[in-house]
Structure 1
Amino acid sequence: MAGAELDWAVSRPHPALRALISRYIGYRQDGVLLEVHRGLPSQHVTLIVSLEAPVRLLEMPGSDQRAARCQGLVGGLHTGPALIAQDRLQAGVHLEVSPLGVRTLLGVPASELAGRVIDLTDLPRPELAQLPERLVEAPSWARRFEILDEVLLACATSSASRDSRATAQQPPGEVRWAWRRILTEGGAVPVSQLARDVGWSRRHFSERFAREFGLAPKQAARVVRFGRAATLLRRLPPGGLAEVAQLCGYFDQAHLTNEWRALAGCTPHTWIREELPFLQDAEVFTGPE
């Protein structure tokens, strides 16, 4: 991307929000030539506010999602690439939201967002709908991150102050524990083992897990493992794809490639060639969670 202008900023949220949100990422790019971006499956629910033209979602494979234009949006957990049209100039703020924080911050369970992209104006949090205007008017990344803290702390506080039904609707401790275990193990943990560890039958465990996240535990583990591979591909290790496959628990390089075709819609080599030059600095996405 020779000659392109890049501007990135990364911040951790307020300490009271860090169990719910990993990072805020601000970005501005001028000179993007890739016309369609693949939004890869991730362990995060993604909240994006554009500071320029609306985000244009073209397709969410495997879903009944319609094409959409949103100034602010949230994308749930998904198992295929979200195809997004790109302009030469684009800028915005990208939030990595834990699925365990979705009810508290957005007012809906993560399962309602799975495989879909929702406009912020369609969420039961009117303060989120005001974010695009407020962030566009802010003079700096630092001020934008402060506004995010203010708004999201208000959402969390409002959720906590509601009646006891809010607490009752939170995912059970067994489901929260299982999600964190999947993350810790990089997706390489059998569903049967998770069910045994929480003391439930595999069927009951899978049903309760899917009820909260919109993905079965096996799908969630697959997405987490894929996400780990995507992180390693941004800084390809000396052993190349074979080493990535080994580190992430795939049978071999062919297994890794097949998973990328299924979840990203292309091979790892194609993604590296087409997407990597236009993505945020590798430091942004390989830094600590």
Structure 2
Amino acid sequence: MATVHPALAPYVRSIVVYDVTFGAPGVHIGMPSTGLTCVLPVDEPLEVAWDAAPHTRTSGWSSVSGLHTTAAAVHHGLHQSGIQLSLSPAGARALWGVPASALAGELLALGDVDADLGDLPSRLAGEATWDARLEVLERALLGALRRRERAESRPEVARAMALLTRGVPVAATADDVGYSRRRLTTLVRDEVGLSPKTYQRLARFSRAHGRLRRDALDGDVSVARLAAESGYADQAHLAREWTGFAGCSPTEWLRREFPIVQATGDRAEGA
């Protein structure tokens, strides 16, 4: 995890360097989240498609996706390395000059989003170390930030998004920011490309995914506990939502992403 420059911190949630060797070629699950994703591979082009939609498969030296409710299938060989960024919805406006809704459900090259950043992959490839690549990336992002007028979303919409992320019901969120539920739905959809309810479900799923990943790394996984801690009615509810977003159950995701980890309390999934 690289340090994010303070000027970029409101817009870039994380910058992660990855350098992974696999035992065999395969497919990694790119999970939906409330962040926009930008991947910049450096050793071989990234091949990615939406799950169960092979006709959407793209291959290139950059990949940008907005918010999505379907997992991505990331194809890999024996080795993969590069840099992955997660942007907040505000980051789409600040860095690329478009609302996140313009990129919802899309798989695009970086140059399609911002022509001025189209040569960034080649600039990264020209550097020999990760530190040098991160410096090039930071300069490019700061340059993009300076080029934009930085039109922010309306403060009440930003507050509504924060409330929805925390799990506040849609009706209560609408009351808090002084809009009708219908008006709130229009504004949120215009901002991120999803309805308030779907965005709220996605935020809950994203929190659960983060918890399960941490638990897997710690070697202490209980799907029943995860459901309770993540705000699901029960384990079966978690399993249904997880399958809808990720295309597989939590335990199947663990088997594919963390094959040495065993989950407990997964009978409700039929595992």
TM-score scaled by structure 1?
0.84
Residue 107 of structure 1: how far off its partner (Å): 2.3
2:183 corresponds to: 204
Whole-angstrom CA distance in 1 between matches of 2:177 and 2:232: 26
Which segments of 5 or more consecutive residues in structure 2 lack a partner in the other structure?
261-271
**Please, what is the CA RMSD of the aligned residues?**
2.0
Q: Aligned pair count?
A: 257
Cα contact 2:212–2:221 (8 A) shared by 1: no
Instruction: List per-residue Cα deviations over 1:246-270 (Å, max 9, x = no partner).
Output: 1111000111011111110001011
Distance 1:239 1:270, change over 3 A: closer
- Aligned-pair identity in percent equals 36
Q: Distance in 1 between matches of 2:147 and 2:97?
A: 10
Deviation per CA, 1:27-82: give whole Å up to 9, x if none.
11122535112111112100100102211123356x89722112111111011111
Structure 1 residue 234 displacement after superposition: 1.6
- The CA distance in 1 between the partners of 2:224 and 2:21, in whole Å, is 34
Question: What do residues 81-128 of structure 1 show as CA deviations (whole Å, max 9, x unaligned)?
Answer: 1112111111110001111110111222211111111111212x2332
Separation in 2 of the partners of 1:150 and 1:112? 25
SS in 1 for 2:143: helix
Unaligned runs of 5+ in 1: 1-9, 161-165, 279-289
Residue type of the partner of 1:254?
Answer: A
Please name the residue that 1:16 is paired with.
Answer: 7
Query: Which residue type is aligned with residue 80 of structure 1?
Result: T
Q: Deviations over 1:221-258 (max 9, x none)?
A: 11111111111112338571111101111000111011
List, as ranges, runs of 4+ consecutive aligned residues in structure 1 with deviation greater than 3 Å. Answer: none
> Against the structure 1 CA distance between its residues 60 and 272, is the aligned structure 2 distance closer, same or farther, given a 3 Å change threshold?
closer
Counterpart CA distance in 1 for 2:208 and 2:168 is 16
Amino acid at match of 2:243: R
Cα deviation 1:166-214 (Å, max 9, x = unaligned):
63xx32111111122233x2xx221111100000000000111101100
Q: Which of 110, 133, 138 is the matching residue for 1:149?
A: 138
Question: Scaled by the length of structure 2, what TM-score is found?
Answer: 0.89
2:21 corresponding residue in structure 1: 30
Aligned with 2:161 (options 175, 179, 196): 179
| TM-superposed deviation, 1:146 | 1.3
Query: Partners of 1:177 and 1:276 in 2: how far apart?
Result: 36
